């Protein structure tokens, strides 16, 4: 039953991905700017640019380019990067893991902290715990991450000398980027938890629970929170997807070799094959995360019918 | 929702706390300033250099960014190279002769030099490399610098002859260009195009590893031919695009050398945390081209008026934070065959008078195109302000690189909408030819073919430029280029702005690492002073 559901959902992804591939291809090719000139270089002559365009197949009509791109894609060939001449699959693979681990380490702490703040705020409505929790959350959402990143570098790397400024060669180098990246996520989750839990705490079953003498902890953590989780899980899934796309700002500030800094590099170089592959990957990631989120709904609330 | 009074008290107390906190951190910073003036210390014999962009390729023949070229310099050498002052000096070549007709170059090579993979450096290795560059079928980005080569001939083990299709006066400069570096013929055979990821040369360091976007590492080559070099065991390059983070790496000692240093922070970090900032004139010229095919710029009086209407000293102070010099020719002083001209002094009266004579007593409206990074924007805004004073109303159109290439280099000269263009140029061969011909060399250089964004075409100048290439005699070339520079200066196709500075920062225990005027890095003499 569950297996059938999952395979059905995965089969449904294929036509969606096809449509996305067309959109992405058109979108990428319609950005003004000629990659041949950028590949040939700043001081190249017209002839050289023409030669490069010919070699890269950029003089073909766009539908022909799309067909040959898709042909390659079905054979698992994502093409070669225009900028470096390396296979795109290799380029993306080398950048995926740093982004993935950074995402995991940011999500891990921000989920815990966000939930805690949210629950404490909701159960202590209008008290000092609520004020400080929400003050922190609003600051976390409003603070530009490049500014927070540079501030953390200034304090922990330059003044105190405890942590490295950049790179991803040790566990210490994960700390500052994941604080920077996770702050917004924690803040968003805290706000969602607070409002969702406050709504649930008004429900009848909570009153029933209290009436039959359950401890307040058990009411909140055991019953109310579980029922309040659906919107929180949805939001966390979205955040997870965004982070997996690589944060351009945080990766640039911490010189992190991930997908975000690769994307910005590729766009400014008009590296079509790399941009296309990255955008397709992001779309796929989101679709898979949505699937997982849907499955979690079923676990949290068995009344939600997966079919 | 919240009680307003409570919220107010809470917010107020938080703000007070924040102010107190920042006060504390300020005072600790001032304390830091006094105590960190001595020499910084360094353990070990490895260096880290933080740079501002990602590396693209390690194949010198297929590279057109200065940064990749700088990293290649640690591993590769050419027959010739540039000294600190941008003069051409022999490196792998010992001596050379040029035939009287300027067509045949004969090179004597140094003996006893080996590549990192054990192959020996000889005439055959040189032939393999020059043939590779000269063959258009190889689609190498630097083919154009060697397109004039007809054939290469091995005379004996250490003598090689290069024949040209027609005389080309700047050929030795082209060989000294980073693209003229010699790759191990064994590696070329083994890796083909993949040599860009597996660099093997004769330089002081050999390749260890490259994790794109993260770092590239080279290590000491024990059989290096110059005794006593290199003095460093391991050299790591780390791309760090964010200015603030790059400076932070230098402060913490995670990097021993960084470039470029953002001009805004240069003065602020100099002399603290054991940091030394160095700023030196480059060969990069900063200019504003005016489309001389279009009204009103087809009138030389208008072009001169614009030149008189811009205060270069103020430009340097405001836009360059003091790091620059007024440009006093088409090329910078450290480019060969430079000849100084008389700067168009800032003179509003004269500018207005010239505009009146040209028939624009009330000025005119125009557009200025340029890059969209903050430095270019600042430059263009400054020009906008200055020209407003003589009645010229400038609209700034910032563009990102790809868009700019589309707008300028995909359009025929007659159809272009370009009126004024804010640009910079670094003649990477260090020779006057590459500083003038692509930019102002007549119709042949108009976009999309080349970089004549002023659409400047003076037949006399174009002829002189071509004449100067047909001879390899320095004194003749000197005379011709002096004449060319004078003529162009008087035609004022550009608003001549500045010669840029290169700015780098290092820890004060480090010596022998410096930027050349072309903006590339030299690490050959690097050493750590204990």
Which residues does residue B522 pair with via DSSP β-bridges, in sequence order?
B514
Residue B500, min C-alpha distance to chain A (Å): 18
Strand B527-528 relative to strand B510-511: parallel, antiparallel, unpaired? antiparallel
Q: Where are the beta strands (DSSP E) in B12-136?
A: 46-51, 80-82, 88-90, 93-98, 104-109
Between CA B126 and CA B148 the distance in angstroms is 16
Instruction: Reduce the DSSP state of residue B327 to 3 states and report it.
Output: coil
pLDDT at B32: 38
Return the residue in A29, A33, A251 with the most chain B beta carbons within 10 A, the one to mutate for interface testing.
A33
pLDDT at B515: 93
DSSP assignments along B208-244, one per residue = EEEETTTEEEEEE-TT-SSTT----SEEEEEE--SHH
Nearest CA in chain A to B210: A94
pLDDT at B264: 83
CATH number belonging to domain A100-300: 1.10.3720.10
Q: Where are the beta strands (DSSP E) in B24-148?
A: 46-51, 80-82, 88-90, 93-98, 104-109
- Residue B67 above 60 pLDDT? yes
Residue B252, min C-alpha distance to chain A (Å): 5
Instruction: Flag whether residue A168 sits within 8 Å of chain B, measured between CB atoms.
Output: yes
pLDDT at B4: 57
Q: Which of A229-233, B215-219, B398-402 has the lowest mean pLDDT?
A: B398-402
Q: What is the pLDDT of residues A152-210, one digit of tens each?
A: 988 888 888 888 888 777 888 899 999 999 999 999 999 999 999 988 888 888 888 88
pLDDT at B131: 95
pLDDT at A19: 92
pLDDT at B11: 57
Q: Please indicate whether, in this complex, the C-beta atoms of A255 and B242 are within 8 angstroms of each other.
A: yes
Alpha carbon separation from B497 to A134, A231, B311, B343, B389 (Å, rounded): 53, 59, 9, 10, 18
Contact between B515 and B259 under an 8 Å Cβ cutoff? The reply is yes
- Domain B7-56+202-274 classified CATH 3.40.190.10? yes
Return the residue in A36, A40, A45 with the most chain B beta carbons within 10 A, the one to mutate for interface testing.
A45
Mean pLDDT of chain B: 89
pLDDT at B81: 93
Partners of B239 on chain A (C-beta within 8 Å) are 255
Mean pLDDT of chain A: 86
Residue A24, min C-alpha distance to chain B (Å): 18
Q: Please indicate whether, in this complex, the C-beta atoms of A84 and B139 are within 8 angstroms of each other.
A: no
Contact between B266 and B78 under an 8 Å Cβ cutoff? The reply is no
Instruction: Flag whether residue A261 sits within 8 Å of chain B, measured between CB atoms.
Output: yes
**How far is C-alpha B326 from the geometric centre of its chain's CA atoms?**
17
pLDDT at B10: 59
Q: What is the pTM of this model?
A: 0.82
- Residue B17 above 70 pLDDT? no
How does DSSP classify residue B260?
A: P
Count of CB atoms situated within 10 Å of the CB of A284? 14
Residues 142-161 of A with CB under 8 A from B: 146, 150, 153-155, 157-159, 161
Note the CATH architecture for domain B61-197. Answer: Alpha-Beta Complex (3.90)
Partners of A42 on chain B (C-beta within 8 Å) are 64
Q: Please indicate whether, in this complex, the C-beta atoms of A131 and B28 are within 8 angstroms of each other.
A: no
Q: Please indicate whether, in this complex, the C-beta atoms of A166 and B252 are within 8 angstroms of each other.
A: no
Question: B281-501: what fold?
Answer: Dipeptide-binding Protein; domain 3 (3.10.105)
Q: What is the pLDDT of residues A19-67, one digit of tens each?
A: 999 999 988 888 877 788 777 776 677 777 787 788 778 888 888 888 8
pLDDT at B289: 96
- Residue B2 above 60 pLDDT? no
- Residue B151 above 50 pLDDT? yes
Instruction: Flag whether residue A165 sits within 8 Å of chain B, measured between CB atoms.
Output: yes
Alpha-helical runs (H) found in chain A: 2-30, 35-40, 46-56, 62-74, 88-123, 128-142, 145-152, 172-201, 204-211, 216-217, 225-244, 248-253, 259-269, 272-300
Partners of A38 on chain B (C-beta within 8 Å) are 401-402, 405
Q: What is the pLDDT of residues B301-339, one digit of tens each?
A: 999 999 999 999 999 999 998 999 999 999 999 999 999
pLDDT at B209: 94
pLDDT at B108: 95
Nearest to B14 among A34, A135, A164 (CB): A135
Give the mean model confidence (pLDDT) for residues B428-452. Answer: 88
* In chain A, ranges of CATH 1.10.3720.10 domains: 100-300
Give the mean model confidence (pLDDT) for residues B428-439. Answer: 90
- pLDDT-derived band at A141 (thresholds 50, 70, 90) equals confident
Tokens of B415: 């159809």
Q: For tokens 């969209």, name the residue.
A: B372
* In chain B, ranges of CATH 3.10.105.10 domains: 281-501
Contact between B495 and B290 under an 8 Å Cβ cutoff? The reply is yes
């Amino acid at each position: 039953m569950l297996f059938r559901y999952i395979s059905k959902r995965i089969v449904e992804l294929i036509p969606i991905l096809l449509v996305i591939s067309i959109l992405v291809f058109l979108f990428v090719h319609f950005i003004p700017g000629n990659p041949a000139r950028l590949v040939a270089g700043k001081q190249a002559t017209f002839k050289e640019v023409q030669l490069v365009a010919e070699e890269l197949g950029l003089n073909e009509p766009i539908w022909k380019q799309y067909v040959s791109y898709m042909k390659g894609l079905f054979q698992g060939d994502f093409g070669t990067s225009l900028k470096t001449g390396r296979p795109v699959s290799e380029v993306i693979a080398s950048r995926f893991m740093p982004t993935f681990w950074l995402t995991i380490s940011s999500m891990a702490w921000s989920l815990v902290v966000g939930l805690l703040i949210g629950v404490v705020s909701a159960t202590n409505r209008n008290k000092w715990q609520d004020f400080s929790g929400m003050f922190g959350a609003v600051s976390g959402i409003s603070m530009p991450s490049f500014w927070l990143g540079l501030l953390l570098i200034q304090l922990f790397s330059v003044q105190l000398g405890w942590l490295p400024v950049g790179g991803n060669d040790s566990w210490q180098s994960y700390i500052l980027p994941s604080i920077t990246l996770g702050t917004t996520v924690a803040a968003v989750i805290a706000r969602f938890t607070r409002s969702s839990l406050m709504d649930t705490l008004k429900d009848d079953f909570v009153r029933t629970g209290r009436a039959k003498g359950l401890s307040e902890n058990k009411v909140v953590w055991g019953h109310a929170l579980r029922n309040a989780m659906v919107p929180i899980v949805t939001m966390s899934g979205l955040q997870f997807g965004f982070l997996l796309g690589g944060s351009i700002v945080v990766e640039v500030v911490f010189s992190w070799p991930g997908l975000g800094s690769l994307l910005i590099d590729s766009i400014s170089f008009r590296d079509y094959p790399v941009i296309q592959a990255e955008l397709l990957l992001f779309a796929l990631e989101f679709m898979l995360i949505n699937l997982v989120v849907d499955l979690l709904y079923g676990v949290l609330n068995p009344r939600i019918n997966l079919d | 929702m919240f009680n307003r009074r409570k919220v107010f008290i809470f917010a107020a107390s938080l703000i007070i706390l924040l102010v107190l906190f920042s006060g504390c951190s300020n005072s600790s910073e001032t304390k830091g300033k006094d105590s960190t003036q001595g020499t910084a210390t360094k353990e070990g014999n490895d260096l880290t250099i933080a740079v501002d962009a990602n590396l693209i390729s390690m194949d010198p023949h297929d590279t057109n960014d200065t940064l990749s070229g700088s990293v290649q310099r640690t591993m590769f050498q050419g027959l010739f190279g540039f000294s600190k002052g941008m003069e051409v000096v022999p490196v792998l070549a010992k001596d050379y002769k040029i035939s009287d007709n300027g067509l045949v170059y004969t090179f004597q090579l140094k003996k006893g030099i080996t590549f990192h993979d054990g192959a020996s450096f000889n005439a055959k290795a040189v032939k393999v490399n020059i043939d590779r560059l000269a063959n258009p079928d190889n689609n190498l980005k630097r083919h154009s610098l060697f397109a004039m080569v007809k054939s290469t001939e091995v005379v004996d083990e250490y003598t090689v002859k290069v024949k040209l299709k027609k005389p080309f006066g700047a050929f030795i400069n082209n060989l000294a260009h980073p693209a003229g570096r010699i790759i191990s013929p064994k590696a070329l055979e083994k890796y083909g195009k993949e040599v860009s990821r597996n660099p093997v040369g004769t330089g002081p360091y050999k390749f260890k590893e490259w994790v794109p976007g993260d770092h590239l590492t080279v290590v000491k080559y024990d059989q290096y031919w110059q005794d006593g070099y290199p003095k460093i065991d391991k050299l790591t390059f780390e791309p760090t695009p964010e200015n603030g983070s790059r400076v932070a790496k230098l402060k913490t000692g995670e990097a021993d050398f960084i470039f470029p240093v953002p001009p805004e922070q240069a003065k602020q970090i100099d002399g603290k945390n054991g940091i030394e900032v160095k700023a030196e004139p480059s060969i990069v010229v900063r200019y504003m081209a005016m489309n001389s095919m279009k009204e009103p710029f087809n009138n030389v009086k208008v072009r001169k008026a614009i030149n008189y209407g811009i205060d270069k000293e103020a430009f340097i102070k405001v836009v360059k934070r003091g790091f620059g010099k007024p440009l006093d020719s088409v090329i910078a002083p450290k480019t060969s065959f430079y000849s100084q001209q008389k700067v168009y002094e800032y003179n509003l009266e004269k500018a207005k008078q010239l505009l009146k004579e040209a028939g624009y007593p009330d000025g005119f409206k125009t557009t200025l195109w340029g890059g969209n990074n903050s430095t270019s924007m600042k430059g263009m805004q400054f020009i906008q302000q200055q020209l407003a004073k003589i009645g010229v109303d400038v609209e700034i159109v910032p563009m990102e690189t790809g868009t700019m290439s589309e707008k300028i280099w995909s359009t025929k000269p007659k159809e272009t909408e370009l009126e004024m263009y804010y640009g910079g140029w670094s003649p990477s061969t260090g020779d006057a030819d590459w500083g003038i011909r692509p930019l102002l060399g007549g119709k042949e250089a108009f976009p999309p073919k080349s970089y004549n964004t002023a659409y400047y075409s003076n037949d006399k100048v174009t002829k002189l430029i071509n004449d100067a290439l047909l001879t390899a005699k320095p004194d003749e070339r000197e005379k011709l280029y002096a004449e060319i520079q004078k003529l162009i200066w008087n035609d004022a196709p550009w608003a001549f702005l500045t010669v840029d500075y290169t700015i780098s920062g290092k820890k004060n225990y480090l010596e022998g690492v410096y930027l050349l005027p072309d903006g590339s890095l030299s690490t050959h003499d690097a050493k750590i002073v204990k």
